[in-house]
Amino acid sequence: MDTLPATAATAALLFAGTNIDDVVVLAVFNASSRASGEPKRWQIWAGQYAGITVLVAVSLAAARGLTLIPQHWIWLLGLLPLGLGLYKLAGAIRARRSGQQASVAAARGLLGVTGITIANGGDNLAAYTPVFATISTSAAAITLAVFAVGVAVWCLVGAWLVSHHRVTDGLPRWGHWIIPAVYILIGVYIFQKTGALSRAV
């Protein structure tokens, strides 16, 4: 039987390994929040917790034999950041042509942050499901507690990454190009991790 420290360490490695890319998203959210006020700091935290909760709940359901999202459909989650990135890119191009300043907001409100969090972590379901299917109830509880702490750590790291004044000073000037590019890359990344690109060729 696994000890508590061993279970906690395994859960921490699982969370870090499957959410390392989420640090980039959190950095974008926090940079946008500092530059434009959107999304608000509490919305970033609440959206992260809500998104991870949904992912964990779906994984737990799948571990119990309930397939809420078929594995071959997970790639569709990549359409959310890709579509948002293309939409913001089109807005930036229109603003440049008209001489106006495009919005640098990375996401609007709690639902926006939650949606991006779910989309960016959709491929994590493949890693979480077998883990929850093979561990005990007590180990699952420890894993969930570690995940809760991990979300807080990730939110703090995302805020720290953009604490330098050069980042916040540069975002109003370049953010309307950077944020669409990041979202488009996230969408492509999700397609790549879920094998959608390999099936298309």
Q: What is the pLDDT of residue 143?
A: 93
Q: Provide mean pLDDT across the span 168-186.
A: 67
d(CA 157, CA 93): 31
The average pLDDT across 163-189 equals: 67
Q: How many domains does the chain divide into? A: 1
Where is pLDDT greater, at 104 or 183?
183
- Which one has a higher pLDDT value, 134 or 149? 149
Phi/psi zone of residue 101: left (φ > 0), alpha (ψ -120 to 50 degrees), beta? beta
Indicate if the pLDDT at residue 149 is higher than 60.
Answer: yes
Q: Answer with the residue of higher pLDDT: 170 or 127.
A: 127
Q: What is the pLDDT of residue 1?
A: 45
Domain of residue 187 covers 4-200
**Up-side HSE of residue 8: CA atoms within 13 Å toward CB?**
8
Q: What's the pLDDT score for residue 93?
A: 81
Minimum mean pLDDT among 7-21, 50-64, 156-170: which range? 156-170
Would you list the DSSP string of 62-95?
HHTT--SS-GGGGGGGGHHHHHHHHHHHHHHHHH
Q: CA-to-CA distance for 127 and 125, rounded, in angstroms?
A: 5
